[in-house]
Amino acid sequence: MNKIIFANNPLDRMSGFRSDKDWQKANLLDNETRFVVFHSGKPLIHVSSEPGSNSTIFLATYDQIKNFIEDAYLLFLGKLKNKSYYAIDLSKSNKDFDKTAFPNCKFIDLRSIAQSISPEDTGILAQAKSMVEWNSSNIFCTRCESSRLETVDAGCKKICKNCNVELFPRVDPVVIMLPIFKDKCLLGRQKIFPPRMFSALAGFLEPGETIEDAVIREVKEEVGLNVTSVEYKFTQPWPFPSQLMIACFCQTDGDTTDLDQDEIEDAVWLSREDLNRIFVGKSPDRIWIPPAMAVAHQLIVAWMHNK
Ligand SMILES: [Zn+2]
């Protein structure tokens, strides 16, 4: 099991069957098929009332969502065992969704529920939410600027019948890195962070850049350090709306920082002992780091254990 939230999607995406209309039609009506329901970007969650037990994705049957199919996006996610999973977005539907028919269910922001559901459910929701967002924000062709896009391949592709452009769901790569010099790592603080929170550095990849180029550029821009080597660690899908966080360690050739105050208002070099004190709530400066659902947290923990 991967410890990283949003990174444990158990579905077989069955990409070879997305464009098979007959297969999709039969699949949709299969008794075992289930639907992950979204409204206004939020998934429908069955909230656990038992202390200590997980909330779960509410999986609707075909009968429960059939009235909405005509005017909602219906997106094929994949299969797990014999069950097919679709996402359905009710935001654009004119029909009322009767929530009283679903006791203990609520549309909940994914960020606030991610730590209370199983790792597999976070993985399914990461895929579903990014697909829902992409489908609902790509309505018209941006190339010929005149046509409405047509959704094909069970929601995994859009085409313009006017200029024949094909569009696929986008993923935006972000590098997130921990600069390291000798036995310390550097954490930085953006102005928008809550008071006393420090984290790894981060930035979007730019066109034509490798992961290594982006790490070297971002570290130089944000804290003025020269990176001498980059070590890829792991990735995390981040469905707000569709990023891929690429987490790396990077060695620097010194520890003298020159902060870009527009981006980073403060930075601090910390040893493993300093981080241990932060984890047990005994940091002298009351510094804290992002929670476990953030890949920055996992990157910092990985460095603490990587002696
Ligand atoms: Zn077009």
**Each residue's pLDDT tens digit, 216-246:** 999 999 999 999 999 999 999 999 999 999 9
Q: Which residues of 133-166 are buried (b: 16+ CB within 10 A; e: fewer)?
A: bbbbeeeebeeeeeeebebebbbbbbbbeeeeee
Distance in angstroms (rounded) separating the CA atoms of residues 277 and 267: 17
The pTM for the full model equals: 0.93
Beta bridge partners of 152: 157
pLDDT surpassing 70 at residue 276: yes
The pLDDT tens digits of the residues spanning 88-136 come to: 999 888 888 777 888 899 999 999 999 999 999 999 999 999 999 999 9
Residue 108 CB contacts under 8 Å (≥ 6 apart), including other chains: 42, 43, 45, 47
- Both tokens of 184, joined, read 């310390």
Cα–ligand 1 centroid distance for 74 (angstroms): 22
Backbone φ and ψ for 86, nearest 5 degrees, come out as -120, 155
- What number of residues does the chain have? 307
Reported in sequence order, the residue ranges of the chain that DSSP labels E, i.e. its strands, are 34-39, 42-46, 56-57, 59-60, 73-80, 83-89, 105-107, 150-152, 157-159, 166-167, 172-181, 184-189, 201-204, 227-238, 243-252, 266-270
Q: How far is the CA of 189 from the centre of ligand 1 (A)?
A: 43
End-to-end CA distance of the chain: 23
**C-alpha 78 – ligand 1 centre gap (Å):** 29
Question: Ligand 1 centroid vs 41 CA: distance in angstroms?
Answer: 26
- Cα(140) to centroid(ligand 1), Å: 8
pLDDT over 80 at 307, yes or no: no
Encode pLDDT of 247-265 as tens digits. 999 999 999 999 999 999 9
Best CA proximity match to 181, nearest among 232, 223, 213: 223
Note residues around ion ligand 1 (Cβ under 5 angstroms).
141, 143-144, 147, 160, 162-163, 165
What whole-number distance in Å separates Cα of residue 243 and Cα of residue 240?
A: 7
Distance 206 CA to ligand 1 centre (A): 26
CA 159 – ligand 1 centroid, Å: 8
Longest CA–CA span in the chain (Å) reads 64
Which residues touch 169 (CB under 8 Å, ≥6 apart)? 130, 131, 134, 156, 242
Q: CB neighbours (10 Å) of residue 256?
A: 10
